[in-house]
Copies of this chain bind each other. A is one copy, B any other.
Amino acid sequence: MRRYSQQKRFLFAVDCIIFGYDGQELKLLVIQRGFEPFKGKWSLVGGFVLDNESAEDAAARVLKSLTGLDGLYMEQLHAFTNVDRDSVERTISVAYFALIDIQKYKQQINEDFHPVWFPINVYPELIFDHAKFVELAKEKLRYKAALHPLLFELLPPKFTMPELQNLYQCVYNIDFDKGNFNRKLLSTNLLVKLKDKDKLNSKKGAFYYKVNSKKYNADFNSFLNFVPTQYLNKKV
C-alpha cells in the first residue's frame, strides 16, 4: 500500500554494458576502478542517478563521460534489485546495454576510469553482480539482433558485406553461406551499395555499403529473421 511517508528510500544507480566490434570479434568495455571502494577491481561503467534525471539520462551521461559520444544506441536491459547485490548499501541498478562503433570511440581522459576492451567471452571478474548483467546483455543482443537490424550500430558508416557477415558470425558463433547472406541482407532494402571498394582485405575488393537510414528508422521494429531461430539459444 502506498503510504509514502513511512517508506524506506534506496540508492539508485545505472550501469552500462557496452559492446563494440573491432572487425575481428565482439568486445566488452569495462573499467578498472581508480577510486574506493573496490579500487583496482573491474567493473561496468555506471553511476548514481541524480535528482533531476531519469535512468536513461543517467546512462547517456555515463556513456558520454566514458566514450565522448552522444546518441549511442542504448536500451534498457533489466532492473537488478536483489537485496544484497551491492555490498556497501542496498542499491537498485538499472542496466543498459549500448552498441558503439569502436572506431569512433575515443578514450576520455578521466582519472577515475581505466577502460579496457575485452573479448565478449574472456572478461575479468567484475564487482557485485555485474557478470550477470553482461551475460544477460549478451543473450539479449543475440535475441534482438536476430529479429531487428541492430548490429549495424556496431559498424562504421561504410562497411562491406564480408565484414557484416563476419559480425553476424561472431555474434551467433555459426558460419553463414555468403551467397544466402548477401541476398537476405539485400532483400531488406536496408543497405545502399556505394561506388567504392575496400581493397585492404582482399585482392578483388568488396563493395562498401551504408545503411539506408530512412528505411532503417522506419523498419527497425519490423522483423527480419536474419538468423534461424534454432541458433539463438546455442551455447557458445
Contacts and interface: CB of A to CB of B under 8 A. Distances in A.
A20 B92 CA distance: 30
Interface string A24-68: 000000000001010000000011111111111000000000000
Given A35-B1, A223-B229, A223-B232, A8 B51 contact: yes
Task: Bin chain A's interface residue count.
Answer: 35 or more
Nearest to A233: B221
A2 interface: yes
Contacts of A81: 12, 49, 54-56, 94
Given A2-B37, A37-B2, A12 B92 contact: yes
Q: How many subunits of this chain does the assembly comprise? A: 2
Interface of A is mostly: loop
Nearest to A47: B1
Interface string A56-89: 1000000000000000000010110111000011
A201 interface: no
Interface of A: 1-2, 4, 7-13, 35, 37, 46-56, 76, 78-79, 81-83, 88-90, 92, 94, 112, 147, 221-223, 225, 229-230, 232-233
Given A7-B11, A9-B10, A55-B81, 4 more contacts: A4-B37, A8-B48, A9-B9, A12-B81
